[in-house]
Amino acid sequence: MYNETALELLNDLELSADKSYPALETLSESSTKYLRDLKVNLKTALSSENLGEKDALLTAYAVAVNAKNAPLQEAFKKRATAAGANTEEVAEAAAVASLLSANNILYRFRHFCDNKKYSDMPARIRMNIMMSPVLGKELFELISLAVSAVNGCQACVNSHEHSVRELGASEDRVFDAIRVAAIVVSVDRIIA
């Protein structure tokens, strides 16, 4: 059913090879070298020295929640917990994905729409979680930035990038979080 590289990828994610993942099966049946690249890209992104294992996995988990990908949510939650994330941190990463989905839609609409009246209207979205996040303000903003980048909200990306840099994150740390998000989206397309 799956070739060796596909099995290694599933093993890395601690996912069962007994489950059918149609796109992964298609790639397994071909001679493409893409699966090897994807496997290496995922390993490299999650082992970023600028993020650390726990922060990289919490970011990956939030992106998997944003993608509504149950197998990847399970995989990254398990690995994040093994890397030291507690229940509250994992839950807050899921909350970030949920909150940013709403914010990204609202602010993307304001950006796309020519009617500037909407920009003056209050958002009326409660965001108390942002005041004192369990993850700490910097990681909360970093995960918010990654989810916003995935969702394509320019205003949110700029706002969260500014906040996270003000909180002391290096550009290398920011870029590595975005790389994690990008690679998780790539994996999401293959394992769903």
Q: Which pLDDT tens digits describe the chain residue by residue (192 residues)?
A: 899 999 999 999 999 999 999 999 999 999 889 999 999 999 999 999 999 999 999 999 999 999 999 999 999 999 999 999 999 999 999 999 999 999 999 989 988 888 888 888 887 777 788 889 999 999 999 999 999 999 999 999 999 999 999 999 999 999 999 999 999 999 999 999
- Contact in structure between 98 and 130 (CB atoms under 8 Å): no
Q: In Å, what is the CA distance from 57 to each residue of 20, 72, 157?
A: 24, 11, 20
Query: What residues contact 188, with CB distance under 8 A and at least 6 apart?
Result: 63, 64, 67, 69, 72
Q: Catalytic residue, from 58, 62, 135, 153: name it.
A: 153
Q: What is the pLDDT of residue 131?
A: 81
Q: Among this protein's residues, is 113 annotated catalytic? A: no
Q: What is the pLDDT of residue 186?
A: 98
Q: What is the pLDDT of residue 130?
A: 80
Q: What is the pLDDT of residue 117?
A: 87
For residue 152, with 0-12 CB atoms within 10 Å meaning exposed, 13-18 middle and 19 or more buried, which class applies? exposed
CA dist., res. 156 & res. 147, Å (int)? 9
Q: What is the pLDDT of residue 119?
A: 86
CATH topology for the 4-190 domain: AhpD-like (1.20.1290)
Per-residue tokens: 75: 């995989």
CA dist., res. 95 & res. 101, Å (int)? 10
CA dist., res. 143 & res. 63, Å (int)? 8
Q: Catalytic residue, from 24, 96, 149, 156: name it.
A: 156
- How many beta carbons lie within 10 A of that of residue 141, not counting itself? 26
